[in-house]
A and B are shown apart, each in its own frame.
Chain A
Amino acid sequence: GAGVSQSPSNKVTEKGKDVELRCDPISGHTALYWYRQSLGQGLEFLIYFQGNSAPDKSGLPSDRFSAERTGGSVSTLTIQRTQQEDSAVYLCASSALAGGRSDEQYFGPGTRLTVT
């Protein structure tokens, strides 16, 4: 079946503008994760959704960042008043959480965000 998809693949925005990044997880996967990959910081966890539970927002770097997951499927990561340090690749992943041993996370292709 289809893998994790993300849109847009690239986004250039001006400092101070808001942006929305979208993630479509693998169908049936109950868990969805957002990570950020930047040159200086490597791969960082941002937020995690599991079913109907309250999301784990412990990795969000500031209150300018928020995310929601509608209907237990599609997720949108919103960055308000973007700053240049927000420039990075934003990766979405999903996992089945079906009780498997590894329950590996499957990653999307990412959205490359450039703030000018």
Chain B
Amino acid sequence: AQKITQTQPGMFVQEKEAVTLDCTYDTSDPSYGLFWYKQPSSGEMIFLIYQGSYDQQNATEGRYSLNFQKARKSANLVISASQLGDSAMYFCAMREYGNKLVFGAGTILRVKS
């Protein structure tokens, strides 16, 4: 079974609008962490946001927020006020049973002007 599922291979969003990138996960570890990374065409992996399994509130970092629904095992990334520079591949990842990350397949986001 997939540990991290990103069901949207590609997404389009109009500049200045909000977009939600989906991520569901599967784990039996009660203590886990969820991460979102951005990978532009240049290839570097950029950390965006983190949500701990015991966190009561949804994480936010600037224009990024994480819609964490623990019972549904989902951790969707919301990008508000999209910018052209947001065009990239986005990966959801989970840390469980230690520190290694398990990644989803990624979602390619394209922001249209």
A residues lining the B interface (CB < 8 Å): 31, 33, 35, 42-45, 48, 50, 56, 59, 89, 91, 93, 95, 97, 101-110
Q: How far is the CB of B96 from chain A (nearest CB, A)?
A: 12
> Which of A44, A59, A109 makes the CB contact (< 8 A) with B43?
A109
B100 touches A42 (CB 8 A): no
A102 touches B52 (CB 8 A): yes
Q: Which of B16-24, B67-75, B76-84, B101-109 contacts A (4 or more CB under 8 A)?
A: B101-109
Which residue of the partner chain B has the closest CB to A107?
B45
Known: A33-B101, A110-B44. 12 other contacts (CB 8 A): A42-B104, A42-B106, A43-B93, A43-B101, A45-B101, A97-B99, A101-B50, A102-B50, A104-B35, A105-B101, A107-B45, A109-B43
Secondary structure type dominating chain A contacts: strand
Q: How far is the CB of A6 from chain B (nearest CB, A)?
A: 11
Q: Kindly count the residue-residue contacts between A and B in the assembled complex, taking CB atoms under 8 Å apart.
A: 54
B residues lining the A interface (CB < 8 Å): 33, 35, 37, 43-47, 50, 52, 91, 93, 98-106
**Complex Cα gap A15–B93 (Å):** 32
B103 touches A42 (CB 8 A): yes
Q: How far is the CB of B3 from chain A (nearest CB, A)?
A: 11
B50 touches A56 (CB 8 A): no
Specify which chain B residues have a CB less than 8 angstroms from the CB of A91 in the assembled complex.
45
Q: How far is the CB of B97 from chain A (nearest CB, A)?
A: 10
Specify which chain A residues have a CB less than 8 angstroms from the CB of B47 in the assembled complex.
104-106
Specify which chain B residues have a CB less than 8 angstroms from the CB of A101 in the assembled complex.
50, 52
Which residue of the partner chain A has the closest CB to B104?
A42
Q: What are 27 A-B pairs with beta-carbon distances under 8 A?
A: A33-B99, A33-B100, A35-B101, A42-B103, A42-B104, A42-B105, A42-B106, A43-B93, A43-B101, A43-B103, A43-B106, A45-B100, A45-B101, A48-B98, A56-B98, A91-B45, A97-B99, A101-B52, A102-B35, A104-B35, A105-B99, A106-B47, A107-B37, A107-B46, A109-B43, A109-B44, A110-B43
